[in-house]
């Protein structure tokens, strides 16, 4: 997904996928193990077939009459064991394995801070993509017609295919009567990250759904999709997303407020700067950091937004939360492309000269 490092660090992909089955009751499994074993056995079987064909063809090259082929030794016959190719996992087990990987991926995305954890996150995502691509038709069928638990799990992993053909089933799942299906389909649409994804239904979920977790995932999905539409053209659809983000900065859920601030930054919405400045005092640290990133984007993308953004930021540097001052200063350095030091007066002097 294309976003700034700061935005990624403060705005991880939504809340973990829903799974009504307690984690303690789920067996640990490796969804890729069966496929790797099957692939290895298939290669071994192919080698065995080739070897058998060569053995039969080689019977005529021993100098003996072709009507009297050389018989294999008894010990060779007794030692031959046919290779057994493992059948694919049943769909229920596959979905359980994928769900466990999805839960692990979600947890790492939320908490990964070291290079090793980030590498592991990418490795799990690659495994999920490989597994879902291999059996995407079955997963789509389970999303559309499977039992409830299978629909929930399929909704959460289909986005990892990164295929256009899963977009329509996932969009249809947004109107599902099962809220867990809706919740997970939003995660998949965020991971799918297609710039041609219709936003209307997602916008409604972001602003009207009673569950905070679903509003969070909807706003996150909208941010990911809008991030792929750069530069953002003002259309009736994107204007709806802008209105949703403006409303979202006062949502009761912190994650919604954070995602809304980042969306307003993508739009370069200068009109939202005052509300964004209020978020710099938010009780949730990740919301304050998202507000900084949003204000920086507004200053960079709006022709007339740099001066107002700079003045709001210098005011926060001078009188805001002391714990936030290093982050505010770093944001100002990125906006000014210069470092005027730690004295707020020097920054205020610079900001005052901007139009």
Alpha helices in 193-301 (DSSP H): 200-208, 212-228, 236-248, 254-267, 273-279, 285-301
Identify the residue with better confidence: 319 or 132. Answer: 132
What is the C-alpha separation between 92 and 170, in angstroms, rounded? 19
Identify the residue with better confidence: 240 or 48. Answer: 240
**What tens digit of pLDDT does each residue of 291-316 get?**
999 999 999 998 899 999 999 999 99
263, 245 contact by CB (below 8 A): yes
User: What pLDDT does 230 receive?
Assistant: 79
What's the token pair of residue 179? Answer: 């809220």
**What tens digit of pLDDT does each residue of 241-291 get?**
999 999 999 999 999 999 999 999 999 999 999 999 999 999 999 999 999
User: What pLDDT does 219 receive?
Assistant: 97
What's the token pair of residue 12? Answer: 């991880």
What is the C-alpha separation between 221 and 197, in angstroms, rounded? 10
User: What pLDDT does 303 receive?
Assistant: 85
56, 45 contact by CB (below 8 A): no
Residue 343 has pLDDT above 60, yes or no: yes
Long-range contacts of 319-328 (CB under 8 A, 24+ apart): 320/280, 320/281, 321/280, 321/281, 321/288, 324/280, 324/288, 327/288, 327/289, 327/292, 328/280, 328/292
Please give the share of the chain, as a percent, with pLDDT higher than 90. Answer: 68
**What tens digit of pLDDT does each residue of 135-190 get?**
999 999 999 999 999 999 999 999 999 999 999 999 999 999 999 999 999 999 99
Mean predicted confidence (pLDDT) in 235-240: 91
Mean pLDDT of all residues in the chain? Answer: 82
Identify the residue with better confidence: 76 or 47. Answer: 76
What is the C-alpha separation between 82 and 41, in angstroms, rounded? 11
What's the predicted TM-score (pTM) here? Answer: 0.75
DSSP 85-130: PPPPPPHHHHHHHHHHHHHHHHHHHHH--SHHHHHHHHHHHHHHHH
What is the C-alpha separation between 203 and 215, in angstroms, rounded? 9
User: What pLDDT does 81 receive?
Assistant: 59
Confidence of residue 110 (pLDDT cuts 50, 70, 90): confident
**Closest CA relative to residue 37, chosen from 112, 80, 87:** 87
**What tens digit of pLDDT does each residue of 6-58 get?**
444 444 445 556 655 444 444 334 444 444 444 433 443 333 333 333 333 33
What is the C-alpha separation between 209 and 189, in angstroms, rounded? 17
User: What pLDDT does 57 receive?
Assistant: 34
């Amino acid at each position: 997904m294309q976003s700034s490092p700061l935005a990624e660090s403060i705005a991880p992909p939504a809340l973990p996928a829903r799974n009504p089955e307690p984690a303690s009751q789920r067996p640990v499994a490796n969804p890729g193990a069966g496929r790797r074993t099957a692939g290895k056995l298939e290669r071994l079987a192919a080698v065995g077939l080739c070897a058998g064909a060569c053995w039969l063809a080689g019977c005529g090259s021993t100098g003996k009459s072709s009507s009297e082929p050389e018989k294999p030794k008894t010990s060779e016959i007794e030692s031959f064991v046919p290779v057994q190719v493992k059948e694919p996992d049943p769909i229920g087990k596959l979905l359980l394995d994928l769900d466990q990987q999805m839960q692990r991926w979600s947890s790492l995305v939320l908490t990964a801070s070291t290079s090793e954890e980030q590498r592991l996150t990418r490795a799990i995502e690659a495994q999920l993509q490989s597994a879902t691509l291999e059996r995407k038709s079955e997963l789509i069928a389970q999303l559309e017609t499977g039992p409830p638990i299978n629909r929930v799990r399929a909704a959460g992993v289909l986005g990892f295919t990164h295929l256009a053909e899963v977009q329509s089933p996932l969009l249809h799942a947004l109107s599902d009567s099962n809220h867990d299906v809706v919740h997970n389909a939003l995660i998949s649409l965020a991971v799918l990250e297609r710039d041609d994804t219709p936003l209307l239904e997602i916008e409604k979920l972001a602003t009207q759904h009673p569950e905070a977790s679903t509003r969070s995932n909807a706003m996150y999905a909208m941010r990911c999709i809008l991030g792929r539409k750069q530069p953002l053209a003002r259309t009736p659809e994107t204007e709806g997303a802008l209105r949703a983000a403006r409303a979202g900065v006062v949502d009761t859920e912190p994650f919604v407020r954070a995602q809304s601030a980042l969306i307003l930054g993508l739009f370069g919405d200068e009109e939202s700067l005052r509300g964004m400045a209020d978020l710099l005092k938010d009780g949730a640290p990740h919301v304050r950091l998202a507000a900084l990133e949003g204000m920086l984007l507004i200053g960079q993308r709006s022709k007339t937004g740099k001066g107002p953004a700079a003045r709001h930021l210098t005011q926060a540097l001078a009188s805001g939360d002391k714990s936030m001052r290093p982050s505010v200063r770093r944001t100002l350095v990125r906006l000014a492309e210069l470092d005027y030091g730690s004295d707020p007066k020097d920054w205020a002097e610079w900001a005052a000269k901007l139009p």
